[in-house]
């Protein structure tokens, strides 16, 4: 029994280490998105006039909200993993104990994590992408594990959308500054 507990604790430990790093990165993306998008939005309000200003207000608020919201959602989901460690350990132990088909994935993730020097982001994320499909069919039985896997697998898309939109807003800053200088 203690071997299963140890394996479950190590698996969840790898996930929580990854989630902690990803949470810090998502927080940084959130701060940058808020600053860049707000600066660009305000400059657009000042630089633009007439109908194009109305279009900018609508598009700026919509896309700025998507960027900030995506970064916030990624950070919030990942932070929730650390708050439910004991429940995650129990669910992973249950997953291993009952011979669920995802057991091999959990064991592979722990073994690969230990070979890579503990907490490799690439290894943990690769293994838990494959775990997502295995656990997804038993959502009610593994609620916390399902939400942890969903948080980990949605993280790249959410952060990339926040970064992509913020890059567009950052490109607009010099354009708006030029419009202010000319106008």
Cα torsion through 149, 139, 6, 22, rounded to 10: 20
Helix (H, G, I), strand (E, B) or coil at 180: helix
* Averaged pLDDT score across all residues of the chain: 81
| CA-atom Rg of the chain in angstroms | 21
Q: How far is CA 114 from CA 1, 33, 119, 123, in A?
A: 21, 35, 8, 10
Residue 62 confidence (pLDDT): 97
Q: What is the pLDDT of residue 140?
A: 63
Place of tokens 């071997």: 3
pLDDT category at 124 given cuts 50, 70, 90 is very low
Question: How confident is the model at residue 66, as a pLDDT?
Answer: 97
Statement: residue 17 has pLDDT above 60: yes
The predicted pLDDT at position 121 comes to 43
Note the pLDDT tens digit of each residue in 38-88.
999 999 999 999 999 999 999 999 999 999 999 999 999 999 988 888 888
What sign does the dihedral 125-127-128-132 (CA atoms) show?
A: positive
The Cα 19–Cα 22 span in angstroms is 5
Per-residue pLDDT for 1 more than 60?
A: no
pLDDT surpasses 50 at 129: no
Per-residue HEC secondary structure of 82-147 comes to HHCHHHHHHHHHHHHHCCCCCHHHHHHHHHHHHHCCCCCHHHHHHHHHHHHHHHHCCCCCCHHHHH
d(CA 39, CA 59): 15
């Amino acid at each position: 029994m203690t071997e299963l507990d140890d394996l479950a604790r190590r698996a969840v430990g790898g996930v929580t280490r990854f989630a902690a790093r990803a949470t810090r990165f998502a927080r940084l993306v959130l701060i940058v998105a808020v600053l860049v998008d707000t600066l660009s939005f305000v400059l657009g309000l000042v630089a633009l006039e007439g109908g194009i200003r109305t279009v900018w207000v609508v598009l700026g608020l919509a896309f700025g909200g998507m960027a900030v919201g995506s970064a916030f959602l990624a950070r919030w989901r990942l932070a929730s993993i650390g708050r439910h460690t004991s429940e995650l350990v129990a669910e992973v132990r249950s997953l291993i104990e009952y011979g669920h088909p995802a057991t091999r994935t959990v064991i592979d993730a722990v073994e690969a994590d230990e070979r890579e020097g503990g907490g490799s982001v690439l290894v943990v994320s690769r293994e838990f992408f494959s775990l997502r499909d295995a656990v997804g069919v038993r959502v009610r039985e593994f609620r916390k594990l399902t939400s942890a896997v969903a948080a980990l697998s949605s993280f790249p898309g959410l952060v990339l959308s926040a970064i992509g939109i913020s890059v567009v807003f950052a490109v607009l800053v010099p354009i708006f500054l030029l419009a202010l200088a000319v106008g």
